[in-house]
Chain A
Amino acid sequence: MPSEKMLMRGSNVVGEAAVRAGCRYYFGYPITPQNELPEYLSWRLPEVGGTFIQAESEIASINMVMGAAAAGARVMTSSSSPGIALKQEGISYMAGQELPCVVANMMRGGPGLGNIAPSAADYFQATRGGGNGDYRTPTLAPAGGQELAEMVFVAFDLADTYRTPVMLLGDGLMGQVMEPVVFPDPIDPASLPQKDYILDGCEGRDPRAIYSLILDPPALMEHNLKLQAKYDLIAEKEVRYDTVELDDAEIIVVAYGTAARIAEEAVHELRAQGHAAGIFRPITLWPYPKQQLRELARDGRKVAVFELSLGQMVEDVILSVGERAPIYFYGVPGGVIPTPADVTDFLHSALADDGKVGRRIEV
């Protein structure tokens, strides 16, 4: 049975959705602004026979995640920007070991310790592989509320299907905002497909090993090519995005997560003023919906990118659109939250090409 409608903050939505998606193990280390998530799981997981451990550090917690994944569990960790930076070693190892997990990042201002205010400047970290080596992490960027609950299920399914760490990218605002949510049916972990690679005792079968160290260069090359084939398959099959009022749009606003919600109100405002604006909202940041955006950037339409950073996703927009359409960028860093009115000003400026708010990108 789906749950009744519940008014919950985003961080707690992630926690409840994880439990319902069959996650029974959480390992983490506290950091603002996502502490409500481990706080929620600290009592919720024991209720369903799960395990919650507050580790001694971020690095310890991601390595506990690695162990649980190697033993076959649905497992997750979470943190906020600088904490996610610390977990990158383990994420890279797990990519190499082909172990599934979900890593939730409620982003805050950076670089370094930055601040505890909502930001979205970890796009590069999430989509370009924050750790070392040739690997990719599928990255889901829900816009909060109901979609946040649903994407947690998708994240665990992607992780298991492709045996890979998956990033769930939110921000401090999304973690704090409360909205009504209805949760999908819970999944019984015992009903999930058996895994034929896990370390669960080898009585009656050949021993297995899971490692990321492959000293022989041709053997590592073969492993890299195998991983790449998997990433190519993910890029082909798992692209997700959403659009709002794009059919007749003369200007396409590209934004994800919280920024997309702020932008959507600006788009309604522009429509009310007689300008045909619409939204293109990537939900997977990797794989990026390149082809879909490319096909929309035609017929003299303008593309306006809005980010809670000084310009990271805009690089994927440039790779998608190239010179097919003029690209404008407006970004606000540091945990300052712009209002819909600020984005409205940017869109007017882009339509007029007057450079007053944001800037034209030279490709």
Chain B
Amino acid sequence: MIARTTFAGFGGQGVLLMGYVLSHGAMLKDLNVTYFPSYGAEMRGGTANCTVTLSDRKIASPVASHPEYLVAMNYPSLAKFEPLVAPNGTIFLNSSLVEEDPQRDDVKVVKVPTVELAREVGSERAGNMVMIGAVCAETGLLSLEETIAGMKAALKGKEKFFELNQKGIERGFSFIKEGK
């Protein structure tokens, strides 16, 4: 098994943290993992993306030619990375911010209204947690418990964020499982 996921968006949307949660969750269940971040010099307002590769075998390249999964948190990310997604892959779209539809007809598209769902659980800032919950629920890469464990490992020392983030992850899972 090998699964490559590219997360992309504006700096400040928690793009790198989504990858970080997935990476920790995968390591905790003894998968091999590489996390490859790429970001501009800016802390906020620039573009950020990271690619996480999970496998039960040795991972050769942390650089992916054609990721199976793309998480696009804004339109520029969709435009930039859509052509690279592997055929029959899945694009997760932050539909709170992106009105456009992907052009490809050989990929599955999952629209997640991250802002609205995060607001339901208490804060729009949990939008990235809603998204990583939706990604894990849809792909089966991590279970709900494994995703929460990954979040807690990724944010070790920042326990005050655990409660809100857990609610966000749970909302992402329920959005996929219940379709709303």
Which of A179, A340, A342 has a CB less than 8 Å from the CB of B34?
A: A179
Establish whether residues A5 and B27, one from each chain, have CB atoms under 8 Å apart when the complex forms: yes
Interface residues of B in 22-69 (CB under 8 A from A): 23-24, 27, 32-38, 41, 59-66
Majority SS at the chain B contact face? mixed
Query: CB within 8 Å of A: which residues of B?
Result: 20, 23-24, 27, 32-38, 41, 59-66, 153
Is there contact, CB below 8 Å, between A265 and B60?
Answer: yes
Closest chain B residue to A262, Cβ basis = B61
Q: Contact: A265 with B36, CB < 8 Å?
A: no
Q: Is the CB of A176 within 8 A of B36?
A: yes
- Chain B neighbourhood of A340, CB < 8 A: 60-61, 63-65
> Would A173 and B24 be within 8 Å (CB), given that A7-B35, A178-B34 are in contact?
no
Known contacts A7-B23, A7-B27; is-contact A180 B32 (Cβ 8 Å): yes
| Complex interface residues of chain A between 2 and 25 (CB less than 8 A to chain B) | 5, 7
Q: Which residues on the A side are within 8 Å of B27 (C-beta)?
A: 5, 7, 180
Report how many residues on chain A are interfacial, defined by Cβ distance under 8 Å: 24
Chain B positions within 8 Å of A261 at CB level: 60-63
Q: Which residues of B contact A262 (CB under 8 A)?
A: 60-61, 63
Those 8 A-B pairs whose CB atoms lie nearest each other, nearest first:
A264-B60, A341-B65, A339-B65, A178-B35, A265-B61, A265-B60, A262-B61, A177-B62
C-alpha gap A261/B65 in the complex (Å): 13
With a cutoff of 8 Å between Cβ atoms, the chain B residues found around residue A5 in the complex are: 27
A178's nearest neighbour on chain B, judged by CB, is B35
- Chain A contact residues, CB within 8 Å of chain B: 5, 7, 32, 116, 144-145, 173, 176-180, 258, 261-262, 264-265, 268, 337-342
A177 touching B64 by the CB < 8 A rule?
Answer: no
For B24, list chain A residues within 8 Å (CB). Answer: 7
Query: What residue in chain A is nearest B19 (Cβ atoms)?
Result: A178
CA distance A261 to B60 in the complex (A): 5
* CB < 8 Å neighbour of A173 from B23, B62, B153: B62
Which of B27, B35, B36, B60 counts the most chain A CB atoms within 10 A? B60
Closest B residue to A144 by beta carbon equals B62
